[in-house]
Structure 1
Amino acid sequence: MENRALPSLGGDYRALVLGASGGIGSAYLSAFRKDPACTVAVGLSRRDDGFDVTDEASVSAAAERLREEGAAFDVIICATGALTIDGVGPEKTIRTIAPDAMAAQFALNAIGPALVLKHFSALLSHDRRSLMAFLSARVGSIGDNRLGGWISYRASKAALNQIVHTAAIEIARTRPLTVVAALHPGTVATSLSDRFSAGHERFSPDDSVSRMLAVLDGLDPSASGSFHAYDGQSIPW
């Protein structure tokens, strides 16, 4: 039991990781593939499979391909997202907002996960506990924002949190044993955080994923639609 990534799932389970070529996504996929209870661990990414979360045709085609193969999953992890897109990082002030850069943040960090929910939630198991998690960020919390800045990234993650919360309510109507959650991974040693992590403790991707899996494992269906940090703390909206 101690070697299992997700003891709460009971018996064998099947896992899908979207964004599996990134630092955190690849750590999730590795954790599942090392777990003897995980009988299937599928990873999709733009780099390896042409899976583009910002393109609905790509998202729909990937989900339909898995559906035609008869795939059903007990765990779906959406590990897509970015802080810097096309070389443009987070703004330090509202005076530097660029509409195109803000739209790109929303396309990847909010609309993309919404498309994942639209097309992939139907692949979750119907009759047993299942889990669906999305990488959010503490800076997406409106209630916890005391520093300002990073407006586009903050707003895109706040939008993601609302999307997750709303979708969880709908999913519960047909899959009452499913938990949908937004997770803050902490500051992780990946290319996403390299330029912005001075003075912050950074976790390895494996450590962050292990902590997030423990949090996800401990959530019951009544907590579906919630927002938690890697240490289990609930984060204010």
Structure 2
Amino acid sequence: MTPGSKASAVIIGASGGIGGALEATLMEEGAFAVVHGFARSRSDAQHIDLRDQSSIAKAAAHVASGPAPTLVIVATGLLHEGDRGPEKALRDLDPDWLAQIYAINAIGPALVAKHFLPIMPKAGRTVFAALSARVGSISDNRLGGWHGYRAAKAALNMLVRTLAIEERRRNDRAIVVSLHPGTVDTQLSRPFQANVPAGRLFDAERAALQLLDVIEGLKAPDSGKLFDFQGEEIAF
């Protein structure tokens, strides 16, 4: 990454496997003046909760007091929690769980965009990226199941497309994208790793490097799209 020494980077979800690896990699590379890491489990200036818009606004105000961010990555996601997991059939649908899945996977990233896109530069290349998933592609859905997670990630992809159109009017070099990191060895994927083909389960450090390589190769016409960890576009 070569953003210049006066820019900052922001990682939302820095306490997670991928988010933590992204934060550590960016700090090690030293290309940014400041690397801000936010997470619900962190305190004070590093605290953010995607279900609490006031905490998102506070985090954005903290970042805005220093070098402008040219890179913002939302590395959060919710697939299972406690005894709750992805639905296998229609009978498993539960409104409270659906609301929670949407809150973290779609609404939260949209609120991050609401508060962070306006503090990104109005000129020059900027990247706002949110971690999505291949299962959020409607055209690629051949297995069914995982109703809430699929739908929430599909909603995220649509929000990213819409945000990209609006952000292009503010900065014609801005890039707003969804990224599919592949299956990464994190708490999110752990209960579902048994069926992952050999060589397709990535450690968090590798995933972070792959995602940053994809981000570095993005150009303005890529804004509004979904890309996998190899830089290949995934159709919505």
Shared fold (TM-score, shorter chain, > 0.5): yes
1:85–1:104 CA contact under 8 A, matched in 2: no
C-alpha distance in 2, partners of 1:59/1:71? Answer: 18
Q: Deviations over 1:144-192 (max 9, x none)?
A: 0000000000000000000001001001111111111100000000010
Determine if the alignment matches structure 1 residue 114 to structure 2 residue 110: yes
Structure 2 unaligned residues grouped into runs of 5+: none
What is the CA-CA distance between 1:86 and the residue it aligns to? Answer: 4.7
Which ranges of 4 or more aligned residues in structure 1 deviate by more than 4 Å? none
2:99 match: 103
C-alpha distance in 2, partners of 1:222/1:194? Answer: 35
Q: TM (normalized to structure 2)? A: 0.93
2:34–2:67 CA contact under 8 A, matched in 1: no
1:63 match: 60
1:183 match: 179
Matched position secondary structure for 1:48: coil
2:12–2:19 CA contact under 8 A, matched in 1: yes
C-alpha distance in 2, partners of 1:66/1:185? Answer: 26
1:170 match: 166
Amino acid at match of 2:16: G
Determine if the alignment matches structure 1 residue 14 to structure 2 residue 8: yes
Structure 1 unaligned residues grouped into runs of 5+: 1-5
Determine if the alignment matches structure 1 residue 159 to structure 2 residue 158: no
Matched position secondary structure for 1:111: helix
What is the CA-CA distance between 1:215 and the residue it aligns to? Answer: 1.1
C-alpha distance in 2, partners of 1:87/1:231? Answer: 33
Determine if the alignment matches structure 1 residue 90 to structure 2 residue 86: yes
1:3 match: none
Q: TM (normalized to structure 1)? A: 0.93
Pick which of 126-135 and 23-32 moved more. 126-135
Aligned-CA RMSD value: 1.2
1:23–1:190 CA contact under 8 A, matched in 2: yes
1:85–1:105 CA contact under 8 A, matched in 2: no
- Could you tell me which of 69, 74, 77 is aligned with 1:78? 74
What is the CA-CA distance between 1:63 and the residue it aligns to? Answer: 1.3
Pick which of 83-92 and 51-60 moved more. 83-92
C-alpha distance in 2, partners of 1:87/1:181? Answer: 32
What is the CA-CA distance between 1:64 and the residue it aligns to? Answer: 2.2
C-alpha distance in 1, partners of 2:30/2:151? Answer: 39
Pick which of 140-149 and 81-90 moved more. 81-90
The verdict on how the C-alpha distance between 1:39 and 1:65 changes in structure 2, with shifts beyond 3 A counting, is closer
Determine if the alignment matches structure 1 residue 125 to structure 2 residue 121: yes
- Could you tell me which of 37, 44, 54 is aligned with 1:43? 37
Determine if the alignment matches structure 1 residue 23 to structure 2 residue 20: no
2:229 match: 230
Aligned residues, how many? Answer: 229
